[in-house]
Amino acid sequence: MSEIRGIYTLWLREVKKFLREKPRLLNAFCQPLLWLFIFGTGLRFSANVAGHNYQEFIFPGLVCQAMLFTAMFLGVSVIWDREFGFLKEILVSPVSRPSIFLGKMLGVSTDVMLQGIIIFPFALLIGASISPFVFLRALPIMLLITVGLTCIGLVFASLMKSFEGFGLVQTFINLPMFFLSGALFPLSNVPQWLVWVSYANPLTYGVDALRTVMMGGAWAPLFPMYVSIGILLAFDAVMFTIGIYAFGRTE
């Protein structure tokens, strides 16, 4: 019972901090707008993806991108807790390490979900028809994407000594995962090596599943839904296990 209380309080802290950080919320709101309206408009008229409205095409990709970047940033920002000493207060409490990890993970995941959901109203602005039903079907897929990504961020936080290393995460995790997920271009017309590398990226399955749900018949899925869901579940399970292990050995 006290473990659950501990998990709850750690979750609450993450969510409170996320909602209080006004500049970050503003940024969360505005950055996808730039991608959608400037980048999206530009490419729509210069390098059109056959058969699709480019903005509608990248919209699910941008949801994934926003979640990816937020998960990495918030996950790694556990380093600040260590820097400012607060992590010690948590680690020395009677709450077990797996519970601490779970509380953090749930908290950051909630933030990441909020970040993904914030973007949905923009779909109306680009003329995509996203009904409440489609939105509700997108949520579980977003959750599956979120959990795994959040765990990656937290694992990095437990490995890194200081926040200066975040640049490396940006270059070697965020951008490759984003570019190699099929978020910005379809994987149907690219060289084979790019296809293979993208297939090794769990986010590819997230983007594909999300597109399948959001674009309906206009999108020909790369994988059947059960394959995407299965791979996302496996990805979550593996990252969660690694996360528990990584947090267990921090002194």
Partner 1 sequence: MSPIIETFALTRRFGSTVAVDAINLAVREGEVFGLLGPNGAGKTTMLSMLCTILKPTSGTASVDGYDIVRQHAMVRRSIGIVFQDPSVDADMTARENLQMHADLYGVPVSEQNDRIQSVIELVRLEDRVDTFVSTYSGGMRRRLEIARGLLHYPKVLFLDEPTIGLDPQSREHIWDYIQKLREREGMTIVLTTHYMEEADRLCDRVAIIDHGRIVALDRPSDLKKGLGGDTITLGTDDGRVLRDLLVQNGVSDVITVQDGEVRVTVSDANVLLPRIIEAAVGAGIRIEHVSLSHPDMNDVFIHYTGKDLRQEEVRRKRFGRMAMMRLRRAR
Give min distance, CB of 211 to partner 1, in A. 37
Which part of the chain contacts partner 1 (CB under 8 A), choosing from 1-9, 142-150, 186-194, 235-243?
1-9
The binder of partner 1 chosen from 30, 132, 200, 251 (CB under 8 A)? 251
The answer to whether residue 1 forms part of the interface with partner 1 (CB under 8 A) is yes
For partner 1, the closer of residues 16 and 124 by Cβ is 16
What is the closest distance, in whole angstroms, from the C-beta atom of residue 94 to partner 1 in the complex? 4
Among 22, 46, 85, 249, binds partner 1 (CB under 8 A): 85
16 near partner 1, rule: CB under 8 A: yes
Q: How many residues bind partner 1 (CB under 8 A)?
A: 25
Residue 217 identity (one-letter amino acid): G
Q: Which of 41, 48, 96, 189 binds partner 1 (CB under 8 A)?
A: 96
Which residues, including other chains, have CB under 8 Å from residue 238's CB and lie 6 or more apart?
148
Token pair of 212 as six digits: 């399948």
151 binds partner 1 (CB under 8 A): no
Q: Nearest approach, Cβ of 231 to partner 1 (angstroms)?
A: 36
Is the CB of 1 or the CB of 47 nearer to partner 1?
1
The stretch among 66-74, 82-90, 123-131, 173-181 that binds partner 1 (CB under 8 A) is 82-90
Q: Of the candidates 22, 30, 47, 84, which one interacts with partner 1 according to CB under 8 A? A: 84
CA 247 distance to own-chain centroid? 20
Residue with tokens 């995509």: 128
Residue 88 as a binder of partner 1 (CB under 8 A): the answer is yes
Confirm if 207 and 60 have CB atoms less than 8 A apart. yes
CA distance 194 to 32: 25
Residue 9, both tokens = 């309080």
CB 144 within 8 A of CB 206: yes
Per CB under 8 A, 90 contacts partner 1? yes
**Which pair of tokens denotes residue 179?**
């570019």
Stretch that binds partner 1, among 5-13, 50-58, 112-120, 223-231 (CB under 8 A): 5-13
Query: How long, in residues, is the chain?
Result: 251
- What's the rounded Cα separation, in Å, for the pair 2 and 234? 30
Please give the residue ranges that form the binding site for partner 1 (CB under 8 A): 1-2, 5-6, 8-10, 12-13, 16-17, 20, 84-86, 88-96, 251
